[in-house]
């Protein structure tokens, strides 16, 4: 189920002064005070001490998942004014547009849903919104200033992702006609016509009846032939001593075939005292032929199995890459250098016990370390769109769900780093701090 929250955003004022040439992109984060006052904060990595602060004059603001568009300078927020309102904000001109009213899902770190996303070209925003009983998928065009409802109000949509060419939007949904009559589906919509191009009913797929949980971790291959996803997210079903759990699947859009890519837990025997079996995955397409899967899986008895596997296409063969689970992965758009976090130990509740981070090159199916990041709390890796800087967050604990304490910037050329300390949320007026990501300067 999707959790919801009414949120507020107001007007802004620019109080910054600049003394040196600005970077092409700034990094944004939002601070939330216990009093209800909040602000958007912009950090220029070329002059990080000159923090640009834009106060928000209304209360209880929260930023939606993946809501910044670096190609068109916009952020997406929502606020409450009798009803919940979706507002777009231009971080250069500070123009605002209220584009929709309804109930919007919010992101909890580690949640499987993908609830709002700008198209890669920055021209359109796709998001989920509920105006009746279910969450529908919507698309807003910046140029036309028009909002389009893609779905029909009968299916609870839970996840969406754009193709790399911004021409298609994939939407994962779940339909229930009764407590024991549920099935999942994935729809692909044309961004220009807003019509459905393709659909796969996962209850009737070539991989069998995938009828429980949610469609999550949707990701396009760069050549747009494949959609990878995880159905039945989270806890697997234990039946007759066998596990039917979540795995990674591939939808070949050319052939229409659904294929189970992994076989980590499905069909494995269990002991009578096993109460649950669970798998958690991070999926990342490195190129059109290579899908990296960071996997952590096991039962309540432990120990958890941890590995990262590189799968090659079109045959889908896999090769173990590391004995850690890679996640939070980002690729430098200029150099193809990878930055990622890798988990080496968790408890049976999937809480991280040991983790590390590094940057690496990926050549001939192997990872070649470029630099170690000696910080077990490093999370949320993000390269600036020009590849000039790497940004990542540092947290108060090894788990990325713990509070953010700073943002670190690393120059891709000199490897020099600068740490932007953030106000503590413990014992201060700040209740929460949310990193947003890179925005155009």
CATH number of the domain encompassing residue 115: 2.140.10.30
Categorize the per-residue pLDDT at 176 as very low, low, confident or very high, splitting at 50, 70 and 90. low
Q: Render pLDDT for 98-152 as a digit per residue (tens, 0 to 9).
A: 899 888 876 544 444 578 888 999 899 999 888 888 888 999 999 999 999 998 7
Counted domains in the chain: 1
Q: Which residue blocks in 346-403 are alpha helix, DSSP H?
A: none
Mean pLDDT computed over 49-61: 72
- More confident call, 66 vs 177: 177
Round to whole Å and give the CA distance between 170 and 188.
4
In a domain, 298, yes or no: no
In a domain, 176, yes or no: yes
Percent of the chain with pLDDT over 70: 76
- Angle of CA points 26, 376, 109, to nearest 5°: 60
Domain that holds residue 227: 110-281
In a domain, 423, yes or no: no
- More confident call, 245 vs 288: 288
In this predicted structure, the answer to whether residue 385 has a pLDDT above a threshold of 70 is: yes
- More confident call, 269 vs 427: 269
Calculate Rg over the CA atoms of the chain. Answer: 22
**DSSP secondary-structure letter at 263?**
-
**Segment holding 65, helix H or strand E:** strand 62-69
Categorize the per-residue pLDDT at 243 as very low, low, confident or very high, splitting at 50, 70 and 90. very low
Asked if 172 and 213 touch (Cβ cutoff 8 Å), the reply is no
Close Cβ partners of 361 (under 8 Å, ≥ 6 residues apart): 336, 337, 338, 367, 368, 370
Q: Which sign does the torsion angle of CA 423, 425, 426, 429 carry? A: positive
In a domain, 387, yes or no: no
- More confident call, 421 vs 224: 224
Categorize the per-residue pLDDT at 207 as very low, low, confident or very high, splitting at 50, 70 and 90. low
Q: Render pLDDT for 274-292 as a digit per residue (tens, 0 to 9).
A: 666 778 888 999 999 999 9
pLDDT at 239: 47
pLDDT at 106: 64
User: Across 43-52, 53-62, 227-236, 309-318, which has the greatest mean pLDDT?
Assistant: 309-318
- More confident call, 277 vs 321: 321
Close Cβ partners of 160 (under 8 Å, ≥ 6 residues apart): 114, 115, 117, 126, 127, 128, 137, 169, 170, 171, 172, 218
Q: Rounded to the nearest 5°, which phi and psi values hold at 286?
A: -75, -40
Mean pLDDT computed over 25-41: 79
In a domain, 434, yes or no: no
pLDDT at 331: 94
In a domain, 186, yes or no: yes
Mean pLDDT computed over 71-92: 78
Categorize the per-residue pLDDT at 350 as very low, low, confident or very high, splitting at 50, 70 and 90. confident
In a domain, 315, yes or no: no
pLDDT at 357: 93
Question: Three-state SS string across 404-429, please?
Answer: EEEEEEEECCCCCEEEEECCCCCCCC
Task: Report the mean per-residue pLDDT for the chain.
Answer: 80
Percent of the chain with pLDDT over 90: 35
pLDDT at 3: 33
In a domain, 290, yes or no: no
Q: Render pLDDT for 246-281 as a digit per residue (tens, 0 to 9).
A: 788 999 999 999 888 998 876 666 667 666 677 888
pLDDT at 274: 67
Round to whole Å and give the CA distance between 111 and 184.
18
């Amino acid at each position: 189920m999707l959790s919801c929250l009414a949120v507020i955003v107001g007007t802004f004022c620019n109080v910054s002064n600049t003394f040196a040439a600005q970077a092409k992109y700034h990094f944004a984060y939002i601070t939330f005070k216990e009093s209800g006052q909040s602000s958007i904060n912009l950090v220029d990595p070329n002059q990080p001490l000159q923090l640009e602060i834009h106060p928000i004059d209304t209360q209880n603001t929260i930023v939606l998942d993946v809501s910044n568009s670096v190609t068109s300078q916009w952020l997406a927020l929502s606020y409450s004014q009798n009803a919940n309102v979706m507002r777009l904000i231009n971080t250069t001109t500070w123009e605002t547009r209220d584009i929709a009213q309804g109930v919007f899902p919010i992101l909890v770190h580690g949640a499987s849903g993908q609830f709002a996303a700008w198209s890669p070209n920055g021209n359109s925003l796709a998001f989920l919104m509920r105006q009746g009983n279910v969450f529908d998928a919507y698309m807003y065009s910046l140029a036309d200033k028009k909002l389009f409802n893609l779905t029909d109000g009968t299916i609870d949509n839970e996840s969406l992702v754009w193709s790399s060419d911004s021409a298609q939007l994939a939407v994962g949904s779940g339909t229930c006609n009764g407590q024991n009559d549920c099935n999942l589906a994935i729809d692909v919509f044309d961004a220009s016509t807003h019509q459905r191009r393709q659909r796969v009913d996962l209850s009737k797929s070539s991989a069998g009846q995938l009828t429980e949980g949610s469609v999550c971790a949707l990701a396009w291959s760069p050549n747009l032939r494949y959609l990878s996803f995880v159905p039945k997210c989270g806890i697997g079903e234990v039946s007759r001593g066998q596990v039917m759990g979540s795995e990674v699947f591939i939808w070949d859009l050319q052939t229409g075939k659904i294929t189970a890519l992994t076989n980590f837990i499905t069909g494995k025997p269990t002991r009578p005292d096993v109460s649950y079996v669970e798998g958690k995955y991070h999926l990342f397409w490195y190129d059109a032929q290579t899908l990296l899967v960071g996997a952590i899986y096991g039962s309540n008895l432990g120990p958890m199995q941890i590995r990262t596997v590189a799968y090659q296409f079109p045959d889908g063969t896999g090769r173990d890459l590391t004995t850690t689970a890679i996640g939070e992965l980002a690729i430098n758009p200029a150099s193809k250098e990878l930055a990622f976090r890798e988990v080496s130990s968790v408890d049976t509740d999937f809480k991280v016990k040991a983790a590390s981070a590094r940057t690496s090159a990926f050549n001939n199916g192997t990872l070649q370390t470029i630099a170690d990041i000696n910080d077990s709390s490093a999370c949320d890796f993000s390269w600036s769109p020009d590849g000039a800087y790497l940004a990542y967050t540092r947290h108060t604990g090894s788990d990325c769900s713990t509070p953010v304490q700073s943002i670190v910037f690393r120059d891709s050329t000199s490897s020099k780093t600068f740490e932007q300390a953030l106000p503590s949320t413990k014992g201060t007026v700040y209740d929460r701090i949310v990193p947003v990501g890179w925005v155009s300067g």
